[in-house]
């Protein structure tokens, strides 16, 4: 029986590998028509507006754009607030179900904070944990079907974006339309480079003739204005992963930065004192980390080391601002690259190929949320260390 | 080769060259994880602490690679040539 099972496993593995390789060959080989064509989504760094207050779509000039990443952010917010309030509304002493899950999650996060900050964990925990939960849910939205692929269809206006024809089977004026993946709109010079098999495939699918882009000397854009070129249609998704918008990650980085500074000042307030004077003392002491002029008071040649200390402290101040940049681009870069990877693999190997990518992205999304939280904890804890006490 | 082709060529070449910086990130991550695994092998009790610090170090090293990736992506998808 076990031998039989082993055999079955082997056959299945070989079949899967063959299927994967077959798919790759079918979809990758230049010159062959695609068997199961898939639309390559438009890759744009800036988020697309889905609604516009006081302006027109698709570019929303002069208006206030409601971007698709804003929609995703709101969805994550509603989801988080709903789930947590729902679970905490009637808390049970012996937790079960959702409450159990959330409690264990919070406990894991709290242990991380405790590992970094010891008994001060209570103070830094809320900022980092909130960032973790938000980033975690926001990252995992990229794994959902429909995100990045369902949206509002508009015409391609600029060059360099791959447009597609609309599906012919949908009636005129229908509310829901599909792009026709067999018919990417291409220019004449690219059409000429296709093989005969690909040309026949295009003809069978009933695609339009390739577009004639004015190819005057040097590709001057002046000739294009004379006749409108139909570059096809693209989708501007309604929901797009929030972390692929640099504004979202920058906002999170600024939150972490501000929280770090505030907590740093709080840590430098003398013990047991309250009021404006104490806060001012705290600010003064905290700033002395970044403008360390104390070394100049040393006698004689010690002043040289004082100067070195001063420049080192200036660098420390600079690194506070560099952290904003690195926070921003770490999250943005990872998740944006992940979505692009998912798009491209889905385009090249529509079946089974994306599974590996989605698995990788599950990992990356978790790690990025964790790293963001841990770095926030570490930076906040370091900011509150009083100079000289930390033992360095 | 006209100007448009040359700029397009430069764009793609630049995007490719930008990713050379990822070598450094790869080496850094490899070194830090290798060191962490050795340390965990010698002192399994300290594994959680080492793991946390390792992930932080990996994140810093990875950030450099991600900067390269962002430069490359900006060249590919933002710069109009």
Using CB atoms, pick whichever of B55, B60, B66 lies closest to residue A370: B55
Hey, is the C-beta of A367 within 8 angstroms of any chain B C-beta?
yes
**Residues of chain A positioned with their CB less than 8 A from the CB of B66:** 329-330, 333-334, 337
Q: Which whole number is the average pLDDT over B10-21? A: 91
Q: How far is A218 from chain B (nearest CA, A)?
A: 6
Rounded to the nearest angstrom, the gap between the alpha carbon of residue A94 and the centroid of all alpha carbons in its chain is 37
Sequence-ordered strand ranges (E) for A227-313: 233-237
pTM of the model: 0.81
Sequence-ordered strand ranges (E) for chain A: 49-53, 64-67, 151-155, 164-166, 179-184, 233-237
The domain ranges of chain A are 8-35, 70-145+242-384, 152-237
Q: How many residues does chain A have?
A: 392
Structure confidence at residue A183 (pLDDT): 79
Nearest CA in chain A to B8: A160
Confidence tier at A392 by pLDDT (50, 70, 90): very low
Hey, is the C-beta of B56 within 8 angstroms of any chain A C-beta?
yes
- Continuous segment of H or E residues that includes residue A112: helix A97-117
Nearest CA in chain A to B49: A115
Nearest CA in chain B to A44: B77
Segment A147-177, tens digit of pLDDT? 888 887 887 777 667 778 877 776 666 777 7
A interface test, pick of B12, B66, B72 with most A CB neighbours within 10 Å: B66
B interface test, pick of A43, A333, A363 with most B CB neighbours within 10 Å: A333
Q: Which domain holds residue B9?
A: 3-77
Structure confidence at residue A364 (pLDDT): 87
Q: Which whole number is the average pLDDT over A94-98? A: 79
Mean pLDDT of chain A, nearest integer = 81
Q: Are strands A151-155 and A233-237 parallel, antiparallel or unpaired?
A: antiparallel
The pLDDT of residue A374 is above 60 = yes
Hey, is the C-beta of A220 within 8 angstroms of any chain B C-beta?
no
Is 0.90 exceeded by the ipTM? no
Structure confidence at residue A125 (pLDDT): 93
Q: How far is B22 from chain A (nearest CA, A)?
A: 13
Segment A269-287, tens digit of pLDDT? 888 778 888 888 888 888 8
Q: Which whole number is the average pLDDT over B45-71? A: 84
Contact indicator for A218, B2 with CB cutoff of 8 Å: yes
A interface test, pick of B12, B57, B62, B76 with most A CB neighbours within 10 Å: B62
Q: Which whole number is the average pLDDT over A346-350? A: 75
Hey, is the C-beta of B67 within 8 angstroms of any chain A C-beta?
yes
Using CB atoms, pick whichever of A218, A326, A337 lies closest to residue B3: A218
The pLDDT of residue A391 is above 60 = no
Using CB atoms, pick whichever of B4, B55, B59 lies closest to residue A219: B4
CA distance A219 to A347: 30
Q: How far is A130 from chain B (nearest CA, A)?
A: 19
Range among A76-90, A151-165, B64-78 rated most confident:
A76-90
User: Sheet harboring A151-155: ordered strands across?
Assistant: A151-155, A233-237, A164-166, A179-184
Hey, is the C-beta of A352 within 8 angstroms of any chain B C-beta?
no
Instruction: With H, G, I as helix, E, B as strand and everything else as coil, classify residue A93.
Output: coil
Question: Is there a contact between B66 and A158 if contact means CB atoms under 8 Å apart?
Answer: no
Nearest CA in chain B to A337: B69
Structure confidence at residue A220 (pLDDT): 46
CA distance B70 to A333: 6
Chain A and chain B share a number of CB contacts under 8 A equal to 58
Q: Which whole number is the average pLDDT over A307-327? A: 88
Helices A121-140 and A68-89: angle between axes, nearest 10 degrees? 120
Structure confidence at residue A27 (pLDDT): 54
Q: Which whole number is the average pLDDT over A57-78? A: 85
Q: Which whole number is the average pLDDT over A363-379? A: 91
Structure confidence at residue A58 (pLDDT): 67
Segment A37-54, tens digit of pLDDT? 777 777 888 888 888 887
Top-confidence residue, A202 or A9: A9
Hey, is the C-beta of B1 within 8 angstroms of any chain A C-beta?
no
Confidence tier at A4 by pLDDT (50, 70, 90): confident
Confidence tier at A196 by pLDDT (50, 70, 90): confident
Structure confidence at residue B53 (pLDDT): 84
Nearest CA in chain A to B59: A371
**Residues of chain B positioned with their CB less than 8 A from the CB of A378:** 56
Structure confidence at residue A355 (pLDDT): 83
The pLDDT of residue A102 is above 80 = yes
Q: How far is A381 from chain B (nearest CA, A)?
A: 14
Question: Is there a contact between A44 and B48 if contact means CB atoms under 8 Å apart?
Answer: no
Top-confidence residue, B68 or A203: B68
Cis before A342 (ω within 30) = no
Confidence tier at B35 by pLDDT (50, 70, 90): very high
Q: Which two tokens stand for residue B21?
A: 């910086």
Q: Which whole number is the average pLDDT over A375-388? A: 85
Give the CATH number of the domain where residue B69 resides.
1.20.20.10
Segment A200-257, tens digit of pLDDT? 777 777 777 777 665 544 444 444 444 567 777 888 888 899 999 999 999 999 999 9
Q: How many domains does chain B have?
A: 1
Structure confidence at residue A59 (pLDDT): 72
Hey, is the C-beta of B55 within 8 angstroms of any chain A C-beta?
yes
């Amino acid at each position: 029986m076990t031998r039989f099972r082993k055999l079955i496993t082997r056959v299945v593995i070989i079949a899967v590998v063959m299927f994967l390789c077959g798919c790759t060959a079918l979809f990758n080989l230049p010159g062959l028509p695609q068997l199961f064509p898939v639309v390559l989504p438009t890759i744009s760094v800036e988020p697309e507006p889905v609604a516009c207050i006081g302006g027109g779509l698709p570019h929303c000039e002069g208006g206030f754009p409601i971007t698709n990443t804003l929609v995703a952010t709101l969805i994550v917010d509603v989801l988080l607030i709903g789930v947590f309030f729902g679970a905490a509304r009637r808390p049970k002493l012996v937790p079960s179900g959702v409450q159990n899950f959330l409690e264990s999650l919070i406990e894991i996060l709290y242990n991380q904070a405790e590992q970094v900050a010891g008994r001060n964990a209570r103070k830094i925990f809320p900022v980092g944990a909130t960032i973790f939960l938000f980033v975690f849910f926001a990252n995992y939205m990229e794994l959902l079907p429909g995100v990045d692929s369902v949206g509002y269809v508009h015409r391609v206006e600029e060059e360099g974006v791959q447009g597609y024809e609309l599906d012919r089977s949908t009636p005129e004026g229908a509310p829901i339309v599909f792009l026709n993946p067999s018919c990417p709109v291409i220019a004449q010079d690219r059409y000429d480079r296709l093989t005969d098999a690909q040309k026949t495939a295009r003809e069978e699918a009933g695609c339009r003739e390739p577009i004639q882009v004015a190819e005057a000397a040097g590709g001057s854009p002046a000739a294009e204005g004379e006749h409108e070129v139909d570059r096809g249609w693209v989708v501007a998704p309604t929901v797009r992963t929030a972390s692929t918008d640099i504004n979202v990650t920058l906002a999170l980085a600024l939150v972490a930065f501000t929280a770090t500074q505030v907590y740093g000042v709080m840590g430098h307030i003398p013990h047991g004192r309250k009021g404006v004077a104490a806060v001012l003392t705290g600010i003064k002491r905290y700033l002395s980390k970044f403008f360390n002029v104390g070394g100049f008071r040393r006698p004689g040649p010690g002043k040289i080391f004082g100067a070195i200390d001063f420049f080192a402290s200036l660098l420390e101040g600079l690194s506070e601002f560099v952290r904003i940049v690195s926070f921003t681009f770490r999250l943005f870069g990872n998740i944006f690259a992940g979505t692009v990877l998912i798009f491209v693999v889905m385009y090249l190997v529509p079946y089974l190929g994306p599974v590996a990518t989605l698995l990788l992205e599950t990992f990356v999304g978790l790690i990025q949320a964790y790293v963001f939280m841990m770095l926030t904890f570490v930076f906040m804890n370091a900011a509150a260390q009083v100079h000289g006490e930390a033992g360095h | 080769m006209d100007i448009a082709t040359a700029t397009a060529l430069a764009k793609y070449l630049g995007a490719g060259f930008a990713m050379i910086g990822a070598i450094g990130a790869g080496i850094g991550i490899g070194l830090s994880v290798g060191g962490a695994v050795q340390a965990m092998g010698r002192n399994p009790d300290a594994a959680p602490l080492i793991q946390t610090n390792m992930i932080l170090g990996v994140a810093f090293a990875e950030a450099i690679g991600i900067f390269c990736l962002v430069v490359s992506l900006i060249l590919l998808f933002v710069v109009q040539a």
